[in-house]
Amino acid sequence: MNYTESSPLTQSTAIGFTPELESIIPVPSNETTCENWREIHHLVFHVANIFFTIGLVIPTTLHLHMILLRGMLAIGCTLYIVWATLYRCALDIMIWNSVFLGVNILHLSYLLYKKRPVKIEKELSGIYRRLFEPLRVPPDLFRRLTGQFCMIQTLKKGQTYAAEDKTSVDDRLSILLKGKMKVSYRGHFLHNIYPCAFIDSPEFRSTQMHKGEKFQVTIIADDNCRFLCWSRERLTYFLESEPFLYEIFRYLIGKDITNKLYSLNDPTLNDKKAKKLEHQLSLCTQISMLEMRNSIASSSDSDDGLHQFLRGTSSMSSLRKLS
C-alpha cells in the first residue's frame, strides 16, 4: 500500500511559514475599507478647523487681510495643540502645530510692528498734513525722510538765507516751517515765501541740469523763521532709492514753482490765496522758474528793464485768463 508519511520539516513549514506567506501574497477581496468608522473627534478639533476656514476665506482686498489671516491660523494651531495633547495624545501632531504656531506668531508680530502708530514731531506735523499726507505718503516713510541728513535751522528777522551771485545752490533744499521770507532781485521785491513752502525749489530743479550755479535772487527772513533743511546730495541719493518718494518730490517742487510764478504776477498773494491756487493749476503755468530768473538777470540793470519784464508777465497772465 503506497502512502507518504509527512516529515517534520513539512509540518514545520506548513505550521510556521504559511501565515507569513499569506500575509505577503495579496488576497483579493470584494469588501470595502473603512467599514467601521471611528468616533467623531472632540469639539476642539472642529473649532480649530473653523478658524482655519475663516482665515482662508478673508478677502485679500481687506486692509488688515494678512493680520487677520495670521491671527486665525495662530488660534487654529493653538486649538490643535490642545486637542492633540488632551484628547488625542499624539506627540507628532502637537510638535508640528507648535512649529506652525511659532511661525504664525512671528509673522503676526512683524505685521503689527509695521502697523504701529508712527509719532511725527509736532513741528513737522504741519508740512506732513498739508504736503505729504494728501499724497498718501506713509508716516514711517516721512519719518525716514525727515529723520536723516536734515536739520531744523533758525533765522532771525533780517538775516539772509541766500545772497544773489554769492550763495551756491548745490548745498541744500529747505521747507519753511514758521515765519515769512522775502525774495528780491537787486533790491526789487519779487514775492514772499510762507510756511509749508519750499524756499529754494527753483534752484533745486536747476541743479538737476547744471551744477555750480549761484542764487540769482536774495532771500531774507522777513520774520523770525524756522525751516527744515536737507543736505541736497544725500537727499538725492535717498530719493534714488525710493522711487515713490522721488515722484512725490517732483510733484511738490513743480507745484511750488507754479505758486511762485503766480505770486510774481500778483505780489499781494498771501498764504490763503496760495492754498486756493493749488486747485487751479493749468498747463500754461508749467514754466521753468529758472528761465524767469535768467530773463531778469539778462535784462538791463535799470528799473525800466525790470518793470518791463514784470509788465510782460502780468500781460501774459491776463491773456491766459481770457483764453
pLDDT in tens, 169-193: 888 899 999 999 999 988 888 889 9
Q: Is residue 201 scored above 50 in pLDDT?
A: yes
Q: In total, how many domains does the chain have?
A: 2
Residues 130 and 254 in one domain: yes
Residues 99 and 149 in one domain: no
Residues 150 and 232 in one domain: yes
Q: Is residue 281 scored above 70 in pLDDT?
A: no
What is each CA distance from 296 to 191, 221, 309, in whole angstroms?
A: 14, 22, 7
Query: Which residue in 173, 209, 188, 183 sits closest to 291, CA to CA?
Result: 209
Q: What are phi and psi of 23, to 5 degrees?
A: -75, -25
Q: Is residue 207 scored above 80 in pLDDT?
A: no
Residues 191 and 158 in one domain: yes
Residues 138 and 82 in one domain: no
- Ranking 27-41, 88-102, 186-200 by mean pLDDT, the lowest is 27-41
Q: Is residue 106 scored above 50 in pLDDT?
A: yes
Q: What are phi and psi of 160, to 5 degrees?
A: -100, 130
Q: Rounded to the nearest 10 degrees, what angle do helices 243-265 and 289-298 cross at?
A: 40
Residue 188 lies in a domain: yes
SS (H, E, C) 251-263: HHHHHHHHHHHHH
Q: Indicate if the alpha-carbon torsion angle 193, 226, 202, 299 is positive or negative.
A: positive
Q: How far apart are CA 278 and CA 256, in angstroms?
A: 9
Place of cell 476665506: 57
Provide the pLDDT confidence category of residue 274 given band limits of 50, 70 and 90: low
What three-state secondary structure class fits 218? strand
CB atoms < 10 A from the CB of 130, how many?
Answer: 14
End-of-domain residue from the set 115, 146, 168: 115
Residue 179 lies in a domain: yes
- pLDDT at residue 266, as a whole number: 63
Enclosing domain of residue 53: 43-115
Residues 153 and 255 in one domain: yes
Which three three-digit cell numbers place residue 156? 532771525
Residue 24 lies in a domain: no
Residues 52 and 152 in one domain: no
Q: Is residue 16 scored above 90 in pLDDT?
A: no
Provide the pLDDT confidence category of residue 147 given band limits of 50, 70 and 90: confident
What is each CA distance from 248 to 53, 228, 239, 285, in whole angstroms?
A: 41, 17, 10, 19
In this prediction, what percent of the chain has a pLDDT beyond 70? 71
What three-state secondary structure class fits 219? strand
End-of-domain residue from the set 244, 265, 286: 265
What is each CA distance from 45 to 35, 80, 93, 283, in whole angstroms?
A: 23, 6, 12, 65
Residue 217 lies in a domain: yes
Q: How far apart are CA 302 and CA 216, in angstroms?
A: 16
- pLDDT at residue 197, as a whole number: 93
Q: What are phi and psi of 186, to 5 degrees?
A: 50, 45
Residue 31 lies in a domain: no
